[in-house]
């Protein structure tokens, strides 16, 4: 059996977990630069706010409804997520962390999965104040469906989808686009063939699925029929590339500020690389003017650079960013967006050395270890390179005071 | 203007020079081949602005002149003909060429030959005469180790050095390096330049079949290779080549001698089990035995082979990218090969058996992959 634990309204629940006085009050969390709504508490959902709704459309309504509005605080969410995953991992044999707020757990040898899930749910709620839903079934796709049912239709927040009749009822209740792994394109394809309900997909001819949806479609249908076809991926493959990019509140013209911004992005990429014990062979830097302004000079600068030796060293990566920016920067432009992408990521145990580089890799690795330890203990950015600056003038907008009640 | 030429002879020459033409050109005229006729001699040329190549053949012509003819159209047509004389009739008023064969007539538009870029003349040139075999071998031994990084253009070419002690060719991509020296090709004047990869690849193909002296003329900016009816002119890569001699380790107390083919085959087999992105393999040498192993943790794949060898030095464990090792070992030709090492984080040196015989000296360097146990 597979259990999927899914945090309810995760970002909104996180904000509430550190502010208990908001219990029962509507909460929304906004995206980067406060553009759109990306999380809603149940109360906010009931007031009719939509996922991804642009803030400017509902600004007045938010004030009128006395909704508590927060700018996304990724560091907090990541922290709470790690705590939850830790609790879940200690209670099952194997686990796949699927996203920041979801994890598949191996419940194979669990005698009473529903009872165990209820206990687990209580433990998470007690220790982190985050409500979770748990769906239990034979396959990942069914478990995902079960967690939906658990969230919407149960008091306990736990639902076991194992009974044959129950599965049939669930599959005829849900449409194909609500299934895990079915996107817009596949939905169109299936609807054209007259397949609307999940139950219809489960009965679809495999040969047809193979032809039109490749092996993924066949696996999906098998999973719906209770035949496990997607394995639990305990070690999700390391990312092939890591990108950090932002749109700025105000356009930036100065090389110095751009370099500061990009150095911070580079530092964040470097930290992520070290965290997953990998190194990158290449780095790309891009800077972009505002596409929506017609009266200014437009420029999209992009340059990919190969490191002499694949690295996760903040100093080396920031150095490469400077060199790349120097080549692509146009002083006559106002930049709205910039980013750093590290790619060709390989394990940090296998460093191909360079004939012409005399960098002391193990010494630098030790330095980075200290760097991370200090920042982990004392807070992000406590130790940084001076080029990263002290004031993030370019930083993100924070939710305007008027929104905070 | 009119000329008559053998279809197969023309095709052969066109195929020889058409390697210069880029698949997409910023300058449309470069999609053409320049035909120049002077006193019953047809010279055809292709260019990408950096490299220009031309060759000459005899034709029957009624007057002199020059036209630029679309290369692809011409090649595609000529490939289909059996050997026969073809008549090219050039109508300058209509801007059209008519080709007549036994099978029929074909018309195609041409451009004015004067618009075709001319190969630069090489002024104040130094000259060397080298046999085609030597150049072909030199290119074959070195070109595989060149880099592909646009930001380090010097490493994308082959470094050539003429001196009174011999001719040295060097290539490196910063991970591996090859130094090929001919002591039997000496020059009174010493000179250094970097040749780009593309013309060398073209030369490699043609020189293998030629058996003659090649005249090389060069100055600060260009080099020109002439042999038979072929002339190739290329621009040199501008920049300073890295100091390769400084990175060749001098003290290498750990010396391995091993049968080259069994080493190569083992590396090939074991590398199948290595990580798909790093291709890392591990050599563990102790006594007269070498273990070659690889592991791919993502798939729990593992391989370990044992080979007997001759070894002098202390026990060593060193990691390499198997791709690099395979390229290098297969590029050596002798029965036995030597691998000299100093430390697991310093470059290893691959040498053929009996180096420096026949005036030839090959040294290959390969930088290891750092091993973390």
Q: Please write the tens of the pLDDT for every residue from B130-187.
A: 999 999 999 999 999 999 988 889 999 999 999 988 999 999 999 999 999 999 888 8
pLDDT at B29: 92
Q: Looking at the complex, does the CB of residue A344 fall below 8 Å from at least one CB of chain B?
A: yes
- Cα A323 to chain centroid distance, Å, stands at 30
Which residues form the domain of A304? 242-388
Alpha-carbon distance of B234 to B219, in angstroms, equals 11
| Residue A278 CB partners (closer than 8 Å, separation 6+) | A238, A312, A345, A346, A347, A348
3-state secondary structure at position A375: helix
pLDDT at A398: 47
Instruction: Flag if A351 and B369 touch (Cβ within 8 Å).
Output: yes
- Specify the number of domains making up chain A: 1
A64 in a structural domain: no
To the nearest whole Å, the CA of A33 is away from the closest chain B CA by: 35
Give chain A's residues under pLDDT 70: 236-239, 391-405
Residue of B nearest to A282 (CA): B149
Nearest to A350 among B176, B242, B278 (CB): B278
Give the pLDDT confidence of A300-318 residue by residue, as tens digits: 999 999 999 999 999 999 9
Alpha-carbon distance of A389 to A116, in angstroms, equals 49
Q: Looking at the complex, does the CB of residue A346 fall below 8 Å from at least one CB of chain B?
A: yes
To the nearest whole Å, the CA of B116 is away from the closest chain A CA by: 33
Nearest to A305 among B151, B177, B297 (CB): B151
The model scores a pTM over 0.95: no
A46 in a structural domain: no
To the nearest whole Å, the CA of B279 is away from the closest chain A CA by: 9
Instruction: Flag if B298 and A346 touch (Cβ within 8 Å).
Output: no
A288 in a structural domain: yes
To the nearest whole Å, the CA of A357 is away from the closest chain B CA by: 9
How far, CA to CA in Å, does B18 sit from each of B7, B21, B30?
Answer: 16, 6, 11
Could you list the mean pLDDT of each consecutive 10-residue stretch along chain B, which spans 373 residues? 92 93 88 93 94 93 91 93 92 90 91 89 88 93 92 94 92 96 87 94 90 92 94 95 93 94 96 91 94 88 94 94 95 93 93 83 94 71
Alpha-carbon distance of A38 to A28, in angstroms, equals 7
Contact present, B169 and B177 (Cβ < 8 Å) = no
A126 in a structural domain: no
Where helices occur in A129-183 by DSSP H, the ranges are 140-153, 164-173
Contact present, A278 and A348 (Cβ < 8 Å) = yes
pLDDT at A325: 95
Q: For residue A282, what is the domain's CATH number?
A: 3.30.1490.100
CB contacts under 8 A, A 231-270 vs B, are 235, 237
Instruction: Flag if B278 and A347 touch (Cβ within 8 Å).
Output: yes
Q: Positive or negative, the Cα torsion across A120, A126, A128, A129?
A: positive
Instruction: Flag if A353 and B368 touch (Cβ within 8 Å).
Output: yes
R_g of chain A, CA atoms, integer Å: 24
Nearest to B247 among A349, A352, A355 (CB): A355
A202 in a structural domain: no
Provide, as residue numbers in chain B, all residues whose Cβ is less than 8 Å from the Cβ of A305.
151
Q: Looking at the complex, does the CB of residue A356 fall below 8 Å from at least one CB of chain B?
A: yes
pLDDT at A393: 54
Instruction: Flag if B319 and A350 touch (Cβ within 8 Å).
Output: yes
pLDDT at A399: 42
Measured CA angle at A55 (ends A50, A57), to 5 deg: 85
The tokens for B118 are 């001319």
3-state secondary structure at position B314: coil
Instruction: Flag if B372 and A305 touch (Cβ within 8 Å).
Output: no
Instruction: Flag if A354 and B368 touch (Cβ within 8 Å).
Output: no
Closest listed residue to residue A361, CA positions, set B344, B84, B275:
B344
To the nearest whole Å, the CA of A239 is away from the closest chain B CA by: 13
To the nearest whole Å, the CA of B294 is away from the closest chain A CA by: 12
Provide, as residue numbers in chain A, all residues whose Cβ is less than 8 Å from the Cβ of B345.
353
Nearest to A350 among B242, B280, B365 (CB): B280
Nearest to B345 among A305, A344, A353 (CB): A353
On the CB side of B17, CA atoms within 13 Å amount to 30
Nearest to B175 among A237, A346, A355 (CB): A355
Provide, as residue numbers in chain A, all residues whose Cβ is less than 8 Å from the Cβ of B278.
346-347, 350, 352
Alpha-carbon distance of B321 to B150, in angstroms, equals 22
How far, CA to CA in Å, does B10 sit from each of A113, A224, B83, B85, B153?
Answer: 80, 66, 10, 10, 35
Q: Largest Cα–Cα distance of chain B, in whole Å?
A: 82
Instruction: Flag if A352 and B175 touch (Cβ within 8 Å).
Output: yes
A76 in a structural domain: no
A314 in a structural domain: yes
A153 in a structural domain: no
The tokens for A19 are 């502010």
Instruction: Flag if A346 and B278 touch (Cβ within 8 Å).
Output: yes
Nearest to A353 among B149, B177, B367 (CB): B367
Instruction: Flag if A355 and B172 touch (Cβ within 8 Å).
Output: yes
Q: Looking at the complex, does the CB of residue A363 fall below 8 Å from at least one CB of chain B?
A: no
């Amino acid at each position: 059996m597979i259990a999927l634990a899914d945090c309810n309204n995760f970002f909104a629940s996180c904000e509430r977990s550190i502010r208990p006085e908001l219990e029962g009050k509507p909460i929304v969390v906004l995206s980067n630069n406060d553009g759109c709504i990306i999380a809603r508490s149940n109360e906010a959902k009931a007031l009719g706010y939509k996922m991804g709704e642009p803030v400017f459309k509902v600004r007045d309504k938010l004030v009128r409804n006395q909704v508590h509005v927060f700018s996304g605080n990724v560091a907090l969410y990541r922290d709470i997520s790690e705590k939850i995953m830790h609790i879940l991992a200690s209670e099952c044999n194997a686990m796949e962390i699927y996203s920041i707020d979801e994890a598949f757990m191996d419940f194979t040898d669990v005698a009473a999965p529903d009872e165990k899930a209820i206990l687990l749910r209580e433990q998470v709620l007690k220790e982190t104040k985050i409500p979770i839903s748990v769906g239990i079934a034979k396959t990942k796709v069914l478990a995902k469906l079960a967690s939906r049912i658990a969230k919407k239709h149960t008091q306990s927040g736990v639902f076991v989808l194992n009974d044959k009749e129950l599965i049939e009822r669930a599959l005829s209740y849900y449409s194909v686009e609500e299934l895990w792994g079915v996107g817009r394109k596949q939905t169109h394809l299936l609807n054209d063939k007259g397949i609307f309900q999940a139950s219809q997909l489960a009965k679809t001819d495999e040969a047809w699925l193979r032809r039109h949806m490749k092996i993924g479609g066949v696996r999906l249908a098998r999973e719906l029929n209770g035949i496990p076809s997607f394995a639990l991926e305990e070690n999700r493959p390391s990312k092939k590339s890591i990108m950090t990019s932002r749109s700025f509140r105000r356009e930036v013209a100065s090389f110095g500020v751009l370099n500061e911004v990009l150095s911070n992005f580079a530092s964040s990429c470097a930290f992520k690389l070290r965290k997953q014990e990998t190194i990158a062979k290449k780095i790309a830097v891009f800077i972009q003017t505002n596409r929506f302004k017609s009266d200014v000079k437009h420029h999209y600068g992009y340059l990919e650079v190969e490191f002499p030796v694949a690295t996760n060293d903040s100093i080396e990566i920031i150095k490469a960013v400077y060199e790349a920016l120097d080549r692509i920067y146009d002083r006559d432009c106002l930049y709205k967006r910039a980013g750093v992408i590290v790619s060709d990521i390989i394990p940090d145990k296998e460093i191909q050395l360079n004939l012409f580089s005399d960098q002391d890799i193990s010494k630098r690795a030790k330095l980075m270890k200290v760097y991370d330890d200090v920042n982990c203990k004392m807070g992000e950015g406590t130790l940084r390179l001076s080029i990263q600056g002290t004031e993030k003038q370019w930083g993100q907008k924070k939710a305007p005071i008027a929104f905070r009640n | 203007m009119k000329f008559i030429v053998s279809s197969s002879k023309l095709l052969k020459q066109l195929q020889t020079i058409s390697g210069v033409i880029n698949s997409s050109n910023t300058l449309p005229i470069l999609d053409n081949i320049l035909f120049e006729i002077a006193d019953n001699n047809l010279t055809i040329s292709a260019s990408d602005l950096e490299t220009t190549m031309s060759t000459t053949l005899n034709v029957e012509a009624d007057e002199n002149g020059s036209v630029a003819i679309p290369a692809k159209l011409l090649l595609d047509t000529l490939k289909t003909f059996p050997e026969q004389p073809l008549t090219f009739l050039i109508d300058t008023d209509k801007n059209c060429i008519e080709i007549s064969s036994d099978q029929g007539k074909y018309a195609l538009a041409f451009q004015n030959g004067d618009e075709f870029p001319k190969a630069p003349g090489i002024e104040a040139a130094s000259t060397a005469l080298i046999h085609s075999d030597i150049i072909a071998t030199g290119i074959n031994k070195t070109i595989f180790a060149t880099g592909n990084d646009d930001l380090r253009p010097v490493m994308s070419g082959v470094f050539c050095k003429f001196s009174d002690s011999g001719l040295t060719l060097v290539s490196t991509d910063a991970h591996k390096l090859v130094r090929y020296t001919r002591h039997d090709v000496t020059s009174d004047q010493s000179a250094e330049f970097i040749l780009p990869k593309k013309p060398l690849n073209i030369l490699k193909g043609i020189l293998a079949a030629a058996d003659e002296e090649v005249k090389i003329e060069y100055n600060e900016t260009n080099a020109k290779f002439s042999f038979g009816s072929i002339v190739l002119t290329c621009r040199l890569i501008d920049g300073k080549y890295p100091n390769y001699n400084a990175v060749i380790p001098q003290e290498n107390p750990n010396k391995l001698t091993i049968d080259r083919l069994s080493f190569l085959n083992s590396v090939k087999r074991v590398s199948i089990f290595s990580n798909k992105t790093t291709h890392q393999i591990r050599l563990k040498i102790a006594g007269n035995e070498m273990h070659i192993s690889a592991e791919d943790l993502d798939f729990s794949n593992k391989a370990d082979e044992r080979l007997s060898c001759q070894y002098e030095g202390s026990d060593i464990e060193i990691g390499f990218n198997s791709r690099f090792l395979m390229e290098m070992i297969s590029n050596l030709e002798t029965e036995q090969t030597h691998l000299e090492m100093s430390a697991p984080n310093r470059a290893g040196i691959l040498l053929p058996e009996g180096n420096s015989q026949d005036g030839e000296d090959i040294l290959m360097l390969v930088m290891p992959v750092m091993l973390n146990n």
